[in-house]
Structure 1
Amino acid sequence: MFAVIKTGGKQYKVAKDDVLAIEKIEGEDGADVMFDQVLMVGDKVGAPTVDGAAVAAQVVRQFKDDKVIVFKKKRRQNYRRKKGHRQQLTLVRITDIQAGA
């Protein structure tokens, strides 16, 4: 069985024992988290969410993504700006999918 969850402004299709990197959520390594914004479970589609459905997950680790370089330049104006950004992410393992009512 699979489910579609919404977290961090994005949607993810997940199944049991999947490991995925999502936007940072609070929790220590090994902590259990629940995702209650479930948009779809199997062939049951919510409007906008499925009532009573939830997805349980366990935090594997907190980490930072690779650096993204932001470089701005205007030619012939002596204008150059260089910035770097590392997004904070959380690696989670899906442990259970509850279909709800």
Structure 2
Amino acid sequence: MVYAVVRAGGRQEKVEVGTIVTMDRVKLKARENGTVQLAAVLLVDGDTITSDAAALEKVTVTAEVLSDLRGPKIIIQKFKNKTGYKKRQGHRQELTRVKITGIK
């Protein structure tokens, strides 16, 4: 069993070949149907665990960009009592869905 832990949009994700991961689009500069390389933090190959930074520079985790999408709407509301202050705004995070194609 071979898997890796990669940096994916400010977070870390455990991935294997064929895994589909959703990550932030801002961190990931790739077009749809393109490929992207992800930085490995940890590599597990059977009984061998690699966490040394020098050894992990040689590890490449490639992913294929499947689609760009947006997350759910988050509503931010602020209110102060007795002052008439009310503020409402929304946010939708831009995301990218990728499929892991190889760990070498």
Fold match (TM-score > 0.5): yes
Once superposed, which parts of structure 1, at least 4 consecutive aligned residues long, lie more than 4 Å away? none
Q: Does 2:99 align with 1:93?
A: yes
| Alignment coverage as a number of residue pairs | 97
Indicate the SS of the match to 1:76.
Answer: coil
Q: What percentage of aligned pairs have identical amino acids?
A: 28
Alignment of 1:35-50 (within 5 A): 35=38, 37-42=39-44, 43-47=49-53, 50=56
Indicate the SS of the match to 1:27.
Answer: coil
Moved more, 4-13 or 89-98: 4-13
Equivalent AA in structure 2 for residue 10 of structure 1: R
Moved more, 2-11 or 86-95: 2-11
Computed over aligned residues only, the root mean square deviation of the Cα atoms, in angstroms, reads 1.5
CA displacement at 1:48 relative to structure 2? 7.8
- Whole-angstrom distance in 1 between the partners of 2:19 and 2:8: 15
Given the two structures, how large is their TM-score scaled by the length of structure 1? 0.88
